[in-house]
Structure 1
Amino acid sequence: MVFQDIAKKIKDKINGYLYSVGDPLPTEVQLAQHYSVSRNTIRKALALLEHDGMIERKHGSGTFVKQKNFIAHVNHMNSLSEIAKKSGKEVKSQIIKFEVQEATQLISTELKIMPQDPVYYIKRLRLIDDKPIQLEETWLSVNRFPALTISHMKNSKFFYIENECNIKIIGTFETFSPVFPTPEVASILHTSIIDPILKIQTQAVDEKYEPIDYSILYSNIFEFQVKYFLPRQ
Structure 2
Amino acid sequence: MAAPLYRRIAQKIKEDIAKGVWKEGEAIPTELHLSEQYQASRVTVRQAIKLLVEEGLLEKVQGSGTYVKEQKIEHNIFELLSFTEEMRKLNKEPINKILDFQLIEPEDHVRRRLQLSEGDKVFYVRRQRLVDDVPYVVEDTFLPVDMFPHLSYSIMTGSKYDYIEKQVGKRIKESFQEVIPILPSEDIAQALTVEETTPILKMESYSIFEDGTIFEYSENHFKSDEYKFTLRATRP
Matches for 1:96-115 after TM superposition, within 5 Å: 96-115=99-118
Whole-angstrom CA distance in 2 between matches of 1:197 and 1:215:
16
Quote the offset at 1:83 in angstroms. 0.7
**Pick aligned residue for 1:138 from 137, 141, 163:** 141
State the number of aligned residues.
184
Q: Which runs of 5+ in 1 are unaligned?
A: 1-18, 35-64
1:162 aligns with 2:165: yes
Determine if contact 1:94/1:124 at 8 Å carries over to the other structure.
yes
**1:80 is matched with which residue?**
83
TM-score (norm 2): 0.69
Quote the offset at 1:152 in angstroms. 1.2
Quote the offset at 1:24 in angstroms. 2.5
**2:73 is matched with which residue?**
71
Quote the offset at 1:134 in angstroms. 0.4
Quote the offset at 1:27 in angstroms. 6.1
Determine if contact 1:169/1:206 at 8 Å carries over to the other structure.
yes
**1:24 is matched with which residue?**
16
Q: Which runs of 5+ in 2 are unaligned?
A: 1-10, 31-67
1:188 aligns with 2:191: yes
Whole-angstrom CA distance in 2 between matches of 1:20 and 1:206:
51
Quote the offset at 1:23 in angstroms. 4.4
TM-score (norm 1): 0.70
Q: What one-letter code is carried by the residue in structure 2 that aligns with 1:189?
A: L
Whole-angstrom CA distance in 2 between matches of 1:130 and 1:186:
16
Q: What one-letter code is carried by the residue in structure 2 that aligns with 1:196?
A: P
CA shift in 2, pair 1:20/1:85, >3 Å: farther
Determine if contact 2:75/2:227 at 8 Å carries over to the other structure.
no
Larger Rg: 2
Q: What one-letter code is carried by the residue in structure 1 that aligns with 2:14?
A: G
RMSD over equivalenced CA pairs, Å: 3.1
**Pick aligned residue for 2:208 from 205, 209, 212:** 205
1:116 aligns with 2:119: yes
Identity of aligned residues (%): 27
